[in-house]
Chain A
């Protein structure tokens, strides 16, 4: 007696399901390995990219949570004993001007990061196909990105110094608390990216295969662009919702 709900054994014989492509139904096809047990470089790249995207979702939730705390705290009145009424104690924070320069540095670094990524992938692909590493003496985009990244963090540090010089510290008022919290959190995450870049830079010295470098650079680029986007978002939040 046929059931409307097909049993999986029937599904077994139908490779496609309602027009969806095989990629969704079947697990990702994997190519042969290099014989050392590790999956093929393309598979590794895909796997690490996937891992990075999943990780980014978690980081997004962290900042979403901080954003909601920010919005709530800003809009929320509190009972004031002196005036016997609800009063909003939010004081706008003037965002230090250097943040604009820092933003520019970060945007530039995304550009150089992407150039570094494409160069490295190209090298790795060529090495895979022809067995030669055609490293030419081109611009060290990787190193430049790292320097720009460090420059951004240094610029943030200047902004923090600027604020403390005005007597605005972490707990001075709620908007300063959030300013420091958001910018420091972002800065720490970006620092992680800088360390990844430094690791990628020394892979050759550490005698790691070119494929490893390619995977690291590819995945770090993803993270880097994400950090850039996250910064734009935080900056906009601080500017618009002050």
Chain B
């Protein structure tokens, strides 16, 4: 029981981290970060299918509003809005906040920093199951009386604060809020774990400036989540109180719904918007940052070249995070908020374009002069860069309030956030999947199927979302269940039809990915420890890794994460654990 000096050839912590036995302990209530990561990943996979199914129904209704669908029958306008609300909710929370961070982060982070597991494995397990409960509550909202809410994933009050404001605004809306509140708690638990792990569990030699950029993004994303989700939780509680207890945080006096004067008094709808977007804006950076980390990782690895400007990349990540908390008002330029505030928010918003641009330049600089291998993870990383540029560049339009007057709440905004979140971030997830699948399952995914998946998805998503910019410019408002009632929209129907058809094809092509995923788990070509010839720590251990990642031997790190094509080195990559001195001075 006495304190032993640390034998630096680490055997200490991982020594008797005994692997669990029994199905429940191994696969259901596992404490192993790898299992938990995969559980999150599959939760996100189910959610993305729910989200895609909802969007298919939406796209059908937009172009054929009178259609009588099998099983669903004729979709009413309020049903369209419910589909829209739940599509956004599932995608933003259960896909984009889940897979990149909780999915890949949980699986890869501990291994990449040289740790046997996360700092708090029990908390980790709890955070997954809490997320799962949130998911179940959200799904339940569809099946209660009145159905799921129709107030959009943004839930603006008073539409969301008054039970009689529309169908689905009864119990369905309450469940929606409760689900999100539970999700907040789960996210906070996860953020706590990630931050403590990165600060406290790095192996010897793994300094902060030797962390792979994936770890930096998981770190900063966790910090964003830590500070933002508490605000969403408080807003949700206030909304729940307004709806059920008769408080008036968001509901002003004198409202009349269906002929009845509402009893609330003195609340502010703008307060909801401020609280929601104070969370909501960091949330979208939570969705994209891990994808940026993956892109950096893959572009360097598959170009066989160090990342261009590692330090600048770290500063850019930090810059995006900090500025991300200062721009929320750009969602509220025409909300009735003070125009002076609008001006300051718009300057900050343009400023956030700067670190994003730095990252893009550095990605190009990483590839330039490299020897690019076009394996499937790289295809999606390259696709990520293109989509990020496209999605980001509609930003300067929306960030200028004078121009936003025309574009706010139109399809221009829908195009912007779908390209960035709905495609670029998703490509980050695809890239991560193709890249880490061999490590997770010990087998390679099929390259040919992956290439087909890539081209369908890349071309398809551009074909879906680029035209939406044109719709927005022409003045097509968003969240319209049909185009029939406003004359100037009639001429836009051919474009809507084009978008829907391409969407059906692109979504159908995702079957290729799912098939590849499951088929390869059982029949894929067996993978070695390091099929991509990459340098980071996860590639030093078997595929899949042993229960405690390093079989008792915690590594010692001697190099940075991007030592590719080092002059004078025997191979075109130097692993982080290779002996010191393997990298000679490059100058």
Contact = CB atoms under 8 A, between A and B. Distances in A.
Given A69-B271, A80-B253, A51 B587 contact: no
Interface in B197-228: 199-210, 226-228
B247 A54 contact: no
Contacts of A29: 6, 204
Interface stretch (B303-311, B442-450, B498-506): B303-311
Given A5-B309, A171-B247, A66 B234 contact: yes
Contacts of B208: 24-25
Contacts of A60: 230
B265 interface: yes
B13 A65 contact: no
B192 A32 contact: no
A53 to B, nearest CB: 9
A27 B207 contact: yes
A78 B266 contact: yes
A186 interface: no
A9 B206 CA distance: 12
Interface in A30-73: 30-40, 46-47, 50-51, 54-55, 57-62, 64-66, 68-69, 72-73
B278 A37 contact: no
Given A47-B200, A62-B233, A57 B248 contact: no
A12 B234 CA distance: 45
B188 A58 contact: yes
Interface in B1-21: 1-7, 12-18
A25 B210 CA distance: 10
A42 B205 CA distance: 21
Contacts of A46: 200
B560 A7 contact: yes
B246 interface: yes
Interface in B531-587: 558-563, 566, 580, 583, 585-587
Which of B234, B275, B583 has its CB near the most chain A CB atoms (within 10 A)? B234
Interface string B15-43: 11110000000000000000000000000
B229 A58 contact: yes
A155 interface: no
A104 to B, nearest CB: 28
A24 B196 CA distance: 15
A9 B268 contact: no
Contacts of A61: 226-228, 230-231
Nearest to A1: B587
A205 interface: no
B195 A54 contact: yes
Contact of B200 (A3, A5, A28, A89): A28
B486 interface: no
A11 B209 contact: yes
A240 interface: no
A150 B569 CA distance: 66
A183 B229 CA distance: 21
Nearest to B10: A30
Interface in B244-268: 245-249, 252-254, 265-268
A73 B267 contact: yes
A12 B585 contact: no
A31 B6 contact: yes
B249 A177 contact: yes
A54 B5 contact: no
A37 B18 contact: yes
B58 to A, nearest CB: 32
Given A39-B13, A78-B266, A32 B3 contact: yes
Given A9-B583, A57-B226, A170-B241, A37 B558 contact: no
Given A46-B200, A58-B226, A40 B3 contact: yes
A181 interface: yes
A2 to B, nearest CB: 5
Contacts of B119: 47, 50-51
Nearest to A76: B268
Contacts of A24: 208
A39 B2 CA distance: 13
A10 interface: yes
Given A54-B196, A174-B248, A33 B268 contact: no
A31 B191 CA distance: 26
Given A72-B268, A170-B241, A58 B6 contact: no
Contacts of B14: 37
B296 to A, nearest CB: 14
A25 B252 contact: no
A6 to B, nearest CB: 9
B452 to A, nearest CB: 38
A62 B558 CA distance: 41
Contacts of B241: 170-171, 177, 181
A65 B231 contact: yes
A25 B192 CA distance: 21
Given A55-B192, A65-B231, A171-B248, A35 B16 contact: yes
A166 interface: no
A32 B558 CA distance: 22
B12 A30 contact: yes
A88 B228 CA distance: 30
Contact of B249 (A37, A59, A73): A73
Interface in A73-90: 73, 76, 78-81, 89
A25 B207 contact: yes
B571 to A, nearest CB: 15
Contacts of B562: 8
A128 interface: yes
A69 B274 CA distance: 9
Interface string B95-129: 00000000000000000000000011000000000
A57 to B, nearest CB: 6
Given A47-B119, A57-B227, A73-B249, A12 B559 contact: yes
A22 to B, nearest CB: 10
Given A35-B15, A37-B18, A40-B3, A54 B249 contact: no
Contacts of A27: 200-204, 206-207
Contact of B4 (A31, A73, A170): A31
Contacts of B12: 30-33, 39
A21 interface: no
Contacts of A33: 4, 12-13, 15
B235 interface: yes
A108 to B, nearest CB: 29
B238 interface: yes
A229 to B, nearest CB: 17
Contacts of B254: 79, 81
A3 B188 CA distance: 41
23 contacts: A7-B560, A12-B559, A12-B580, A17-B209, A25-B207, A26-B207, A27-B201, A32-B4, A37-B13, A37-B15, A47-B119, A47-B200, A54-B196, A68-B274, A73-B249, A78-B253, A78-B266, A79-B254, A89-B253, A89-B265, A170-B245, A170-B246, A177-B249
Listed from nearest, the 3 A-B pairs whose CB atoms lie closest are: A8-B560, A32-B4, A27-B202
Given A12-B580, A37-B13, 20 more contacts: A8-B310, A8-B561, A11-B210, A13-B580, A24-B208, A27-B207, A32-B5, A32-B7, A32-B12, A33-B4, A35-B16, A47-B200, A50-B200, A59-B230, A65-B235, A76-B268, A170-B246, A174-B247, A174-B267, A177-B247
